[in-house]
């Protein structure tokens, strides 16, 4: 494919990507598209095999829906049960434009808030579709028996989340992800027991198998026996979540990783906007050098909690001893229209700035207060405990303080990845036959995800979008053409076995966690909440050095023929050591600030993110050219037919 002359910095890039957005008015694109795409005859659906990797909300809902349609489905997850997928950890809620509180919400308003929240760096048509199907998601989940919170009258209750001035978030106390996942899990297991789904737990995807440029299956490792096996299919669906654990310390489960999408990327799938990472503003602060992960405190707490710090630097008094006029409610002061419910990127950066000024609390100075006292005085302790019971218990167990009596101490932490594999409007990557859904793709959140939108996207993709669009591909691809007899499967198996053998053979002097911690700290320091050219360039020089030492000095004990969690982690960290280079490259390339990508060189006089729409209003989709080799940039121009991008303001 011929190259253009290059982007504004001289980096070569190939032709613009085709996102296959259907024509027509925005509010009719999805319904019109569904009405015109090809279908698979019901009797033929059983002849097609679809692989789904991952059993979180996106994966479980997709697998159940595809099976109910009649396709033969194989499902893989690394957990011992699909119920343990990381979606279970989501706390606060799921958005939908039902307008039950009668506060003037609408599909358009949800669409606009999501697009604006992402700093106008998302594909407009995808965001509208997400808002459009949001209401159907709630109907689906209620029909499954998901126990959403209800008002005294019995109607479904709503609460507010950041970046919106309406209450549109449906919730189940602080356990919304768990309850939604149990609903999807029930649908999944119904199909397993019917014999339509083959479930393979404790199985990790090690490679994507590509035959003549088309995704035709995967290679896996049984985590209990070490067996490496091939699985053929007519289409592969990746629903493996995000990559925030590249920072080592994050709110994600320790098992969360980039491996599946990274190895698909190495086989030819483009990786879009990897520098768009989300730092969640309300997490329990870091407590020591050897902490293994961080704990999320739901954004929903900002409904009733007020964020503040002492006005005076170095004020070490107990919060109860600091009078009201000596407190700085800095989010309410700076953003009076939204107050404590500004989007996550803004809340996180402001907390960091306050702490950098020396006004942070705790012995480290790396925390701010989240105070429920006003809400308790207004509504009563019983009401607050009913709304946030498990969150308050979790905080007290970890911190040893009752948050109803003493303000919570919080600080931002890595939480979510807006970047992911590039997909078109049909959720198919640039590689035919490879579909990517949920957090594993890039499509809906732009440069910053609004709270309660991750669950919305995962279930929209799995229940309603993919089941409609995958048939269009399969109807044209034909069936019965996939077999593990192809040489590509044998080659992929051998490569996977070689990597395992190589990791076990090093016998060096440093643990896998030691390397992961070093890489994570480098990424956090140089590519976390604030970034600049100097720091990013330094990280880009250091990552190859860490990677080289990893392959010379890592120590992976045990064997490859049985359960070996050190080996599992080693493979994932090896991928992070490659992926981190792309993360930094993308952040260095994007010479603007937008959403969670904050370049210190590009900010307004008030310290807000300053976009450059003339040069960077596009999706950056990167093509892998080899470890340590510069990736090739592909672009998808972002066009806005219904919304005019403007400088975000929440003041």
State the catalytic residues: 344
Tokens of 72: 């033969």
Q: What is the b/e burial string over 578-590, where b = at least 16 CB atoms within 10 angstroms of the residue's CB?
A: bbbbbbbbbbbbb
Angle between helices 57-69 and 176-194 (to 10 degrees): 30
Taking CA atoms, 9 is separated from 273, 325, 551, 589, in Å, by 17, 50, 33, 8
Taking CA atoms, 281 is separated from 284, 307, 518, in Å, by 10, 10, 23
Helix (H, G, I), strand (E, B) or coil at 62: helix
How crowded is the C-beta side of 144, counted as CA atoms within 13 Å? 22
Q: Please say whether the beta carbons of 166 and 105 come within 8 A.
A: yes
| Alpha carbons 571 and 255: distance in angstroms, whole number | 12
Residue with tokens 């939480």: 415
Closest CA to 245 of 624, 516, 487: 516
Sign of CA dihedral 567, 570, 572, 578: negative
Containing 34, the helix (H) or strand (E) segment is: helix 29-36
Phi, psi of 270 (to 5 degrees): -75, 140
Angle between helices 259-266 and 565-589 (to 10 degrees): 60
Q: Please say whether the beta carbons of 464 and 184 come within 8 A.
A: no
Mode of pairing for the β-strands spanning 203-211 and 368-371 = unpaired
Q: Please say whether the beta carbons of 119 and 594 come within 8 A.
A: yes
Residue with tokens 């602080």: 174
163 sits in the region (left: phi over 0; alpha: psi -120 to 50; else beta) called left
Sign of CA dihedral 477, 208, 262, 79: positive
């Amino acid at each position: 494919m011929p190259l253009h002359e290059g982007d504004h910095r001289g980096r070569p890039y190939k032709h613009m990507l085709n996102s296959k957005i259907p024509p027509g008015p925005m509010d009719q694109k999805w319904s019109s598209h569904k009405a015109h795409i090809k279908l698979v005859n019901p009797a033929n659906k059983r002849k097609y095999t679809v692989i789904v990797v991952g059993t979180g909300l996106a994966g479980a809902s997709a697998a159940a829906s595809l099976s109910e349609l009649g396709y033969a489905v194989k499902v893989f997850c690394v957990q011992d049960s699909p119920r343990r997928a990381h979606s279970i950890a989501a706390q606060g809620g799921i958005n939908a434009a039902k307008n039950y509180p009668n506060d003037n919400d609408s599909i358009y308003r949800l669409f606009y808030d999501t697009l604006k929240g992402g700093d106008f760096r998302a594909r407009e048509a995808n965001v509208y579709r997400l808002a459009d199907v949001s209401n159907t998601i709630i109907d689906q989940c209620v029909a499954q028996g998901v126990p959403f919170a209800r008002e005294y009258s019995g109607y479904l209750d709503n609460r507010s989340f950041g970046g919106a001035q309406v209450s549109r978030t449906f919730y189940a106390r602080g356990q919304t992800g768990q309850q939604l996942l149990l609903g999807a899990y029930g649908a999944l297991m119904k199909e397993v027991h019917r014999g339509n789904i083959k479930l393979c737990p404790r199985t990790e995807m090690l490679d994507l198998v590509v035959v003549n440029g088309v995704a035709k299956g995967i290679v896996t490792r049984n985590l209990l026996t070490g067996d490496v096996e091939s699985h053929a299919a007519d289409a592969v669906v990746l629903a493996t979540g995000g990559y925030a654990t590249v920072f080592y310390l994050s709110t994600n489960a320790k098992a969360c990783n980039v491996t599946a999408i990274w190895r698909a990327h190495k086989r030819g799938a483009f990786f879009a906007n990897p520098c768009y990472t989300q730092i969640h503003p309300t997490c329990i602060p870091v407590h020591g050098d050897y902490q293994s992960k961080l704990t999320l405190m739901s954004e929903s707490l900002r409904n009733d909690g007020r964020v503040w710090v002492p006005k005076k630097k170095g004020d070490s008094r107990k919060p109860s001893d600091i009078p009201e006029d000596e407190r700085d409610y800095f989010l309410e002061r700076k953003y009076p229209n939204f107050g404590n419910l500004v989007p996550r990127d803004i809340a996180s950066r402001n907390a960091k700035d306050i702490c950098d000024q020396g006004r942070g609390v705790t012995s480290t100075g790396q925390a701010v207060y989240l105070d429920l006292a006003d809400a308790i005085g207004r509504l009563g302790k019983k009401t607050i405990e009913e709304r946030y019971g498990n969150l308050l218990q979790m905080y007290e167990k970890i911190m040893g303080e009752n948050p109803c009596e003493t303000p919570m101490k919080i600080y931002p932490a890595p939480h979510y990845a807006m970047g992911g594999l590039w997909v078109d409007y049909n959720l198919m990557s640039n590689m035919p036959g490879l579909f990517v859904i949920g957090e594993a793709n890039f499509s809906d959140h732009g440069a910053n995800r609004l709270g309660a939108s991750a669950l919305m996207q995962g279930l929209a993709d799995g229940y309603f979008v993919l089941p409609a669009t995958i048939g269009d591909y399969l109807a044209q691809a034909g069936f019965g053409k996939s077999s593990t007899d192809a040489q590509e499967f044998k080659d992929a198996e051998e490569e996977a076995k070689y990597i395992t053998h190589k990791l076990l053979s090093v016998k060096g002097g440093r643990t896998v966690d030691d390397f992961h911690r070093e890489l994570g700290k480098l990424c956090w320091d140089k590519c976390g909440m604030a970034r600049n050219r100097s720091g990013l360039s330094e990280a880009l020089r250091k990552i190859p050095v860490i990677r080289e030492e990893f392959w010379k000095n890592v120590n992976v004990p045990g064997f490859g023929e049985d359960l070996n969690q050190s080996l599992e982690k080693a493979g994932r960290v090896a991928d992070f050591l490659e992926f981190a280079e792309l993360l930094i490259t993308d952040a260095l390339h994007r010479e603007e600030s937008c959403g969670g990508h904050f370049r210190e060189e590009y900010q307004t006089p008030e310290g807000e993110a300053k976009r450059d729409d003339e040069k960077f209003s596009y999706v950056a989709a990167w093509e892998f050219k080899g470890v340590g080799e510069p990736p090739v940039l592909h672009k998808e121009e972002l066009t806005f037919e219904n919304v005019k991008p403007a400088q975000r303001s929440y003041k």
